[in-house]
Amino acid sequence: MIKPIENGFILNTKKTTYIIGIKNDWLLHLYYGAKIQVDNLDFLYQKFDNGRGNAVIANNMMPQYVNFEISTVGLGDYREPMFAFDTCLGYTCNLKYQDFEILNKDDSLLIPQSYNENQVLKLRLLDEALKIEVILYYKIFYECDVISKYVQIKNLSTNQYIIDRAMSSQLDFDSSEFEMLTFEGAWANERHLKVKPVESGIYINDSKCGASSNNRNPLVILKRHNTNQHNGECYGSNIVYSGNHKTIIEATTDKRMRVLAGVSDYATRITLDDVYLTKEVVLTYSNEGLNGLSQNYHQFVNEHIIRGNWKYKERPIVINNWEATYFNFDEGKLLKLARCAKQVGIELFVLDDGWFGHRDNDTSSLGDYSVNRKKLPKGIKHLAEKINDLGLDFGIWVEPEMISVDSDLYKAHPDWSVAVPNRELNFSRNQLVLDLTNPNVQDYLIESLNDLLNSANIKYVKWDYNRNISDMYSKTLINQGEFFVKYMDGLYRVFENVNRKFPDVLFEGCAGGGNRFDLGILCYFQQIWTSDDTDYLERLSIQSGTSYGYPPSTISNHVSDVPNHQTLRISPLASRFNLACFGVLGYELDLCALSKRDLFEIQKQVLQYKQARRVFQYGKFYRQEEDAQKVIFLSVLDNAIAGVFQKLVHPNQQEDTLKINGLEDNVKYKVESDTQVLNAKIFGGLINMISPIKLKIGGTVHKLVCKYYKLKQTQESYIVYGDALKNAGIKLHGQFLGTGFNNNVRVIVDFGSNLYYIRKVNSK
Ligand code: GLA
């Protein structure tokens, strides 16, 4: 896997190779891509036989044109550097290779980080004049084709140095013929895929708000122009971190490209007294298209990021009371909702915001996690018992990192919030952030969470974080340039403690929806609330975008009410369910207010999901090429399920073809569509074309017909070999077109969808 050879190192995973060279004690980057066989490195070195204009010559090289494994400042490489140290000798830094070590297990104290790597390579470098030692860590995850990197920086001198920038990973490429894929957005609008061609210049994908952010997720993909979902080369970079991150892509005019990734240097200067560890950047490569890349990451997350008792465990179906009640509930209302939830087969009840202090809206009580006796006079323990008696598990919402000025905690510790002395307070959602750089605040949180989770039979926690950081300042810090990194270190200390004490609790991360959907959070929380936006159409893009880097087992989706609370859009219940299935399913609406028909449908949905839960949560996930009209997702385990999701209807289009990847070529599969009942209402006045009597649309008889007449959607069924499903695909029946309607026509309205179940013939 890690092979030291003369003047370099070859790192192999199952399908990739990464090669580092050593020349005149400098580390060069020689190759990263599809697996190759190499036993000497001569053929890979850049030759530079002729001069190149005004290039600086250092160490017998022209650094400006060299593909390096790392880069610093001051030696004639004018691209963005991986490291920038402010020292008594200026910024110039010359790190020379010293020696290496190969381990079977990481020996550093980095938190958080992935685990169960196959091997670790440590390369030690030294700047002799500055006495700065740098150790590059490479962790190999053979099976999922992932190599992760981070760096330890040590000050061996008695001088004080400042780290202006320390990235975790550098990748220098010969070519900048790539497109850059980033996942951008805002609240209720997270992780929308953006594709931009890389032209010469410098591109940055980063966050500066203290969280990994809904503006720009840390995942960055670089793909060749012709790479699609199924074929072609692509590289991924992500970071095991939940704070400010940064990826810099610099494409030079001679079409070289450098990709740097790590913790952001925004408003950050670290004092290097002793040792500093950067965070872990996770790289992958695939020449099997974007699905290949995503599958590498999915496997990596499930196997090497998610830990503890929930690893590979099926996640329960929840009912969450937020959109059902918002702040307006009492015990009776909650139990009524829980009863309805139990009736339809839901497994866990989540009590969301508003249960503590005197919190009747979002202006108060954050920090005071003692029960609101007005709403719940008998307390949380009693409520949890009642819920348990109904046969449901109980879960609870908290927002530990925040504080309301109107709270007992603020009265006791006004200096525990993040604020700059002698300046006005700046609020977001009426709240302030707790100063987690302060160990006393960390201890307080550890203790109060401990008390809460011990106080009742709590099986699930939704950990929210509803504002970004501004006005960074802490009286506990000498160097305010360390605020952002120390905040995250403090937070991870709290996470570590809580996880350790409550290994059986399922944690769902949340940050006003998906403001912190990242690999750092997933080291502690097994799933994440994807977005506050549960609208079908919006979710198509949000879930699709999220799936590029994160597996379905981590993507929490709820079926909510219509009109949707974020967009006021109406979409069919079946579609809201079908889409929410591709991940961890939950419900978030007032079930008790639904019609019998809808409740019956939900009961069927819950059963259907339970039967296929493992496929949805842990199957190999594929995106088919998306077009303006539809999105297709596919989850494959032994059997498979495809979701065909329509956006808007465009009449008289080519028939839909359903291709299904990932099956065994020589095995026969039965492909069957789900059964949906259509409400005759969707046909409007057209119903009179078949009705024996003329109906007044909207009249009593018409209403009765719509209520009782069950119009089944066409059910499709095919038996096809795996290779045919992948390569040829199934031509589905034509969609409704206003002409020639019969039983075979698929009636799929705007935002309609179908699930297709694919089972091996002869299997149950
Ligand atoms: C955030 C979450 C919601 C809900 C509210 C409660 O917005 O994303 O799901 O929990 O907070 O205040």
Digit-coded pLDDT (tens) for 649-699:
998 888 899 999 999 999 999 999 998 888 888 899 998 988 889 999 999
Q: How far is the CA of 264 from the centre of ligand 1 (A)?
A: 27
pLDDT score of 741: 81
pLDDT at 764 over 60: no
Q: Mean pLDDT, to the nearest integer, of 177-183?
A: 98
pLDDT score of 743: 84
Q: Hey, is 49 helix, strand or coil?
A: coil
Distance CA 246, CA 207 (A): 7
The model carries a pTM of 0.97
Q: Mean pLDDT, to the nearest integer, of 145-161?
A: 98
Distance CA 12, CA 629 (A): 41
Q: 201: closest CA among 183, 178, 225, 168?
A: 178
The atom number, within ligand 1, closest to the CA of 512 reads 8
pLDDT score of 122: 98
Q: How far is the CA of 212 from the centre of ligand 1 (A)?
A: 18
pLDDT score of 329: 98
Q: How far is the CA of 579 from the centre of ligand 1 (A)?
A: 21
Q: Mean pLDDT, to the nearest integer, of 714-742?
A: 93
Q: Please count the other Cβ atoms lying within 10 Å of the Cβ belonging to residue 20.
A: 25
Q: Hey, is 212 helix, strand or coil?
A: coil
pLDDT score of 24: 96
Cα 312 to the chain's mean position, in Å? 17
DSSP-derived letter for residue 624 is: P
Q: Give the burial string for 270-306 (b: 16+ CB within 10 Å, else e).
A: bbbeeebbbbbbbbbbbbbbbbbbbbbbbbbbbbbbb
Distance CA 214, CA 220 (A): 14
pLDDT score of 678: 85
Distance CA 333, CA 370 (A): 20
Residue of 106, 145, 435, 464 marked active site: 464
Distance CA 504, CA 514 (A): 24
**By alpha-carbon position, which residue is closest to atom 1 of ligand 1?**
512
pLDDT score of 146: 99
Distance CA 151, CA 648 (A): 49
Q: How many CA atoms lie within 13 A of 210 on its CB side?
A: 26
8 A C-beta contact, residue 196 and residue 202: no
pLDDT score of 763: 59
**By alpha-carbon position, which residue is closest to atom 2 of ligand 1?**
512
Q: Mean pLDDT, to the nearest integer, of 506-511?
A: 98
Pocket residue to mutate for ligand 1, from 401, 429, 468, 510, most atoms within 8 A of Cβ: 510
Pocket residue to mutate for ligand 1, from 466, 515, 516, 534, most atoms within 8 A of Cβ: 466
pLDDT at 356 over 70: yes
Percentage of the chain beyond pLDDT 70 is 100
pLDDT at 195 over 70: yes
pLDDT score of 672: 97
Look at 10 and 687; give whichever has higher pLDDT.
10
Q: How far is the CA of 512 from the centre of ligand 1 (A)?
A: 5
Percentage of the chain beyond pLDDT 90 is 92
8 A C-beta contact, residue 41 and residue 6: yes
Q: Mean pLDDT, to the nearest integer, of 611-621?
A: 98
Instruction: Name which of 559-563, 618-622, 683-687 the model is least confident about.
Output: 683-687
Q: 132: closest CA among 75, 84, 168, 93?
A: 93
Residue of 106, 127, 532, 533 marked active site: 532
Distance CA 509, CA 527 (A): 6
Look at 678 and 19; give whichever has higher pLDDT.
19
**By alpha-carbon position, which residue is closest to atom 11 of ligand 1?**
512
Instruction: For residue 605, name the pLDDT band (cuts at 50, 70, 90).
Output: very high
Cβ-count burial of 134 within 10 angstroms (0-12 exposed, 13-18 middle, 19+ buried)?
Answer: buried
Is 415 part of the annotated catalytic residue set? no
pLDDT score of 737: 87
Output the furthest CA–CA distance in the chain (Å, rounded).
96
The atom number, within ligand 1, closest to the CA of 511 reads 8
Q: Hey, is 239 helix, strand or coil?
A: strand
Cα 227 to the chain's mean position, in Å? 22
Question: What confidence tens digit (pLDDT) does each residue in 310-336 have?
Answer: 999 999 999 999 999 999 999 999 999
Distance CA 374, CA 355 (A): 9
Q: What is the mean pLDDT of the chain?
A: 96
Q: Mean pLDDT, to the nearest integer, of 295-309?
A: 98
Angle formed at CA 442 by CA 441 and CA 444, multiple of 5 degrees: 65
Distance CA 111, CA 108 (A): 9
Q: How far is the CA of 505 from the centre of ligand 1 (A)?
A: 20
Q: Give the burial string for 370-381 (b: 16+ CB within 10 Å, else e).
A: bbbeebbeebbe
8 A C-beta contact, residue 239 and residue 518: yes
DSSP-derived letter for residue 601 is: H
pLDDT score of 457: 98
Instruction: For residue 360, name the pLDDT band (cuts at 50, 70, 90).
Output: very high
Q: How far is the CA of 466 from the centre of ligand 1 (A)?
A: 7
Pocket residue to mutate for ligand 1, from 320, 322, 359, 527, most atoms within 8 A of Cβ: 322
Distance CA 69, CA 125 (A): 12
Is 464 part of the annotated catalytic residue set? yes
Measured from CB, residues less than 6 Å from any atom of ligand 1 are 322, 352-353, 397, 464, 466, 510, 512-513, 529, 532
Q: Please count the other Cβ atoms lying within 10 Å of the Cβ belonging to residue 135.
A: 20
